[in-house]
């Protein structure tokens, strides 16, 4: 059975995409730890990040850095945190979170009922920053 991320990638479930290329996508978390919380997800369904092919892992890191720069530009956080947890969905993915402190990476503080308008606005800010940085992979 396809993971929830595969269903989002395939358009079977909605997602607020900010990046699409031939190897991965990035979309906003539906349970954000902070505004702009973005997930970078390979198109290939691999459960554990240590099982990713080296070239794909490198690509995910490169895309994560580009999106991290955009999050920094768009949200002006103290730092952009990166986390690979992978327990909640059996499909490797990277969390990128604009943060003021380490407490902002605590999954227990996730917004379980975010305002859809706030998610849309955050996605627009990420896309605008990616466009300003000259990335053609920005997804509308």
pLDDT digits (tens, 9 = 90+) for 38-90: 999 999 999 999 999 999 999 999 999 999 999 999 999 999 999 998 888 99
> Does residue 138 fall inside a structural domain?
no
Return the active site residues: 93
pLDDT of residue 54: 98
Establish if 21 belongs to a structural domain: yes
The number of folded domains in the chain is: 1
Q: Is residue 77 situated within a structural domain?
A: yes
Task: Give the H or E element holding residue 96.
Answer: strand 94-99
CATH number at residue 84: 3.30.428.10
Beta-strand relationship, 94-99 and 79-83: antiparallel
Q: Report how far residue 78's alpha carbon sits from residue 13's, in angstroms, rounded to the nearest whole number.
A: 33
| 128, part of any domain | yes
User: Closest by alpha carbon to 60, among 77, 75, 79, 38?
Assistant: 38
Domain range for 121 is 4-48+55-132
In whole numbers, what is the pLDDT of the chain averaged over residues? 96
Residue owning tokens 């952009």? 80
Residue in 126, 76, 79 with CA at minimum distance from that of residue 102? 79
| Residue that wins the pLDDT comparison between 62 and 108 | 62
């Amino acid at each position: 059975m396809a993971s929830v991320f595969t269903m989002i990638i395939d358009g079977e479930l909605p997602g607020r995409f900010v990046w699409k290329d031939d190897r991965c996508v990035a979309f906003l978390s539906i349970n954000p730890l902070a505004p702009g919380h973005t997930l970078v997800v390979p198109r290939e369904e691999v459960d554990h990040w240590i099982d990713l092919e080296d070239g794909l892992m490198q690509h995910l890191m490169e895309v994560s850095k580009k999106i991290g720069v955009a999050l920094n530009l768009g949200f002006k956080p103290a730092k952009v945190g990166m986390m690979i947890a992978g327990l909640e969905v059996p499909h490797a993915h990277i969390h990128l979170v604009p943060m003021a402190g380490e407490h902002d990476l605590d999954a227990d503080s996730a917004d379980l009922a975010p305002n859809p308008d706030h998610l849309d606005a955050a996605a627009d800010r990420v896309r605008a920053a990616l466009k300003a940085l000259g990335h053609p992979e920005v997804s509308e």
